Structure 1
Amino acid sequence: MIILKVGTAALCVTMMLSSGAAAEGETEAPVARMNSLSYAVEDKPIAGRWDASKLKGKALVQGLKFDSAGNMYVTTARCGGAEILATVSKLVKTGDGYELQAFPSEALNEINNPDRLKAVVGSEIDENDVMWILDQGHVAGAPSGDQDKKLAHWDVNSGRELQRLAFAPDVSNKTCSFLNDVVVDNDAGFAYITDSGIFSDPLCGGLIVHNKSTNSARRVLNATTFTNDEPHFSFTINGRPVLKNGRMRAGADGVGLSGDKQTLYWTNLAGKKLYSLPTALLQDETVSEAELQSAVRVETVLPSNTDGLTADEDGNVYLTALQLNGVLKWDPKRNLT
């Protein structure tokens, strides 16, 4: 089990010392802990701008991934503004702590570079050590540019870009889409993306299916009940409303593949239902939107809304439980959480 606790200026990563339940005497061992997220910067002008920035030490981490060598990578979506030095970073050991090092490079995280990575939330590192970087393109909520919303594949070991696809407006709307997370099936050559659709009212949530072999993508379940927020749904964390001025509204968010890769699972951030679809239907472009909608299953109603999920080879699904400050386990054979 991996637990990630993040705040505006703190990061703690903890790993269980063994798989399954901890044996007597075993404890959780910190892998990385810091009170302030500092950047290791080679470019002196960039370093100077960061030192003078009001956001220094306040980079909010959204995602955490590991490569096969155990290196850690995090995403920082620039929700606070363009001053954040890097939207994708590698955690580099320095003495007793860690620093953030822009990945793949400082230049490709530079906000004014037209080929840059602009605002990344979701990513995945596959079994070949290829990082699938999902750039949602919005900096501090501003509309994205023509090439900003994209999926880029980077070889972690060489830092070389292997493939890139900038999404067309009918796949990811430049104004309302918020590309949240991605899961990868290299055996079939597909990736699946959740779009929370938060920058419009009503929401424009949806799923995006990426075909690696043709480097193409299509949008499905656009603004449906399966990918938008549940009406009137609101939630608190530690007894406090998430937003001061009304309820948080967000659609398709957490996404995961079953161990056999035959089923795609997802949840909406503003809702408690766990949905699923057979991946065979998503991979077949001849399957109509109506057929997809009729095939969606509500697997269970969870005791809490969730922000992320994954599945194991035995078919169990694990979901973060925002309202319970914990992790849920759903067994499809027993339908228990």
Structure 2
Amino acid sequence: MMRSIRRLGLALASAMIISNGAAFAAASSNAMPHVEVVAEWNRLPYDLGDAQAEQAYQSNQTYKKVLLQGVKVDSHGTMYVSTARWGGPDVPATLSKLVRKNGQWELQPFPSVAMNKVGDRQALQSVLGFEIDRNDVMWILDQGHIAGQPSAAGAEKLILWDLKTDREIQRYEFSDADSDKKCSFLNDVVVDNDRGVAYITDSGIFCDHLHGGLIVYDQKSNRARRVLDQTVFTTDEAGFNFRIDNEPVLSKTPMRTGADGIALSGDKRTLYWTNLSGHTLYSLDTALLRNFETSEAALRTAVKRVATLPSNTDGMIADRSGNLYMTALEMNGINFRDAKTGAISTYVIHPEMVWPDTLSWSPDGSLYVVSGHLNKWVDNQMDFDHPAVPNFRIWKIEAHGKSYTTK
């Protein structure tokens, strides 16, 4: 299964450590923000409400197929995580709520076991990106693909789930014009509550050529539009050499991934994004994107190359003031872009923050981020028994910000 994913192109300072949730302090001329680990695992445990199923998960070593990718936090501080089914259909759930059980955090299928059933078009098939907005509505982006295979009918979709009432309030199934059911890799989503619009990156990795692009979704009309399809703005950069800890990512073929990290400014006027296989930060005026009558030519002309980043980026997020926080894969940390000056600086660097992925705001103004050693997982080199450091971590980082979704 892992070889199949690689073949299809799932190309997807110093520190003092006190483990088990204690603080991390980094040596720097400027003081780094307080950083702590709030959860960590060598292998991901599930609370399935079924002892036999949980035992089978362990005895069959299904945990080797499960990778932690995203984390989001609701207004009550509850953490939710995504585990896209890149390893196959036997991954127990692709979206989960973290619950304490037997003294550790476990993944409880969310919204339910039934809503994570493989093969049911009404259920979640493979969730990577999701967002929780200011109204505690979860915008769930289902990329549909199971282990890199073409998506089944209705599998690629966006579901809006109200956490307060625990029910689905809206869904949109992506048409063939929105996403290619063989090539697309729906990656991440940001939400404008003011106007009822979501912006989505498609990395387009499952074909010989990258099929990257952006998708704009209008909640009020329940329709979507694909833009910047297979352009220089949504594909990889020529000659990009992706290395982590001085080792190439993918040992046999270079990792190639299009549009990935995405962020919406606090005033909702600017959309930012990056391609994973590149160092360029792009932006576009959202007024142009929201207007489905804006021509493709006009959009391409309006794209701005904002900056050349010191590292490629997977996850991005903005605060209410428009400052950007961008995971830095080649640096094992997070970079910061000041909204007023445009200056880009190091925010957090830690040698064990390997492949920092999705970012999330918490109610107290802290940032949460997953580090999941994706580079080891995709190359089938992950040690699930005795790794040098835990394979999967959720970090909490001092930020004193407010989510971009707030008014």
TM-score (norm 2): 0.75
Q: Give the structure 1 partner of residue 108 of structure 2.
A: 101
Q: Give the structure 2 partner of residue 316 of structure 1.
A: 323
Show CA shifts across 1:38-61 (max 9, x none): 111124664454244322365211
Deviation at 1:184, TM superposition (A): 0.3
Matches within 5 A, 1:24-173: 28-43=35-50, 46-47=53-54, 49-56=56-63, 59-173=66-180
Q: Give the structure 2 partner of residue 242 of structure 1.
A: 249
- Confirm or deny that 1:331 pairs with 2:359: no
Deviation at 1:332, TM superposition (A): 4.2
Show CA shifts across 1:160-194 (max 9, x none): 11111110011011000000000000101100000
Matches within 5 A, 1:4-15: none
Letter aligned with residue 227 of structure 2 = V
- Confirm or deny that 1:187 pairs with 2:194: yes
- How many angstroms apart in 1 are the aligned matches of 2:122 and 2:286? 32
Deviation at 1:241, TM superposition (A): 0.5
Asked if structure 2 preserves the Cα contact closer than 8 Å seen for 1:38 and 1:57, the reply is no
Instruction: Note the aligned Cα RMSD (angstroms).
Output: 2.3
Q: Give the structure 2 partner of residue 228 of structure 1.
A: 235
Deviation at 1:151, TM superposition (A): 0.3
Deviation at 1:268, TM superposition (A): 0.2
Asked if structure 2 preserves the Cα contact closer than 8 Å seen for 1:254 and 1:308, the reply is yes
Show CA shifts across 1:20-74 (max 9, x none): x9x99x9544422333311111246644542443223652111000010000000
Query: Where does structure 2 lack aligned partners over 5 or more consecutive residues?
Result: 1-18, 345-407
Q: Give the structure 2 partner of residue 287 of structure 1.
A: 294
Asked if structure 2 preserves the Cα contact closer than 8 Å seen for 1:14 and 1:28, the reply is no
SS at the partner of 1:323? Answer: helix
Q: Give the structure 2 partner of residue 253 of structure 1.
A: 260
Show CA shifts across 1:193-217 (max 9, x none): 0000011232110000000001111
Report the identity percentage.
52
- How many angstroms apart in 2 are the aligned matches of 1:113 and 1:251? 29
Letter aligned with residue 303 of structure 1 = P
Asked if structure 1 preserves the Cα contact closer than 8 Å seen for 2:121 and 2:153, the reply is no
SS at the partner of 1:282? Answer: helix
- How many angstroms apart in 2 are the aligned matches of 1:279 and 1:14? 39
Asked if structure 1 preserves the Cα contact closer than 8 Å seen for 2:321 and 2:339, the reply is no
Structure 1 stretches of at least 4 aligned residues deviating more than 6 Å after TM superposition? 12-17
Asked if structure 2 preserves the Cα contact closer than 8 Å seen for 1:33 and 1:97, the reply is no
- How many angstroms apart in 2 are the aligned matches of 1:30 and 1:326? 14
TM-score (norm 1): 0.90
Q: Give the structure 2 partner of residue 4 of structure 1.
A: none
Aligned residues: 322
Asked if structure 2 preserves the Cα contact closer than 8 Å seen for 1:259 and 1:313, the reply is yes
- How many angstroms apart in 2 are the aligned matches of 1:193 and 1:241? 28
- How many angstroms apart in 1 are the aligned matches of 2:239 and 2:218? 35
Cα pair distance change 1:97/1:36, threshold 3 Å: same
Show CA shifts across 1:226-266 (max 9, x none): 00111121210000111111211000000000111100000
Query: Where does structure 1 lack aligned partners over 5 or more consecutive residues?
Result: 1-11
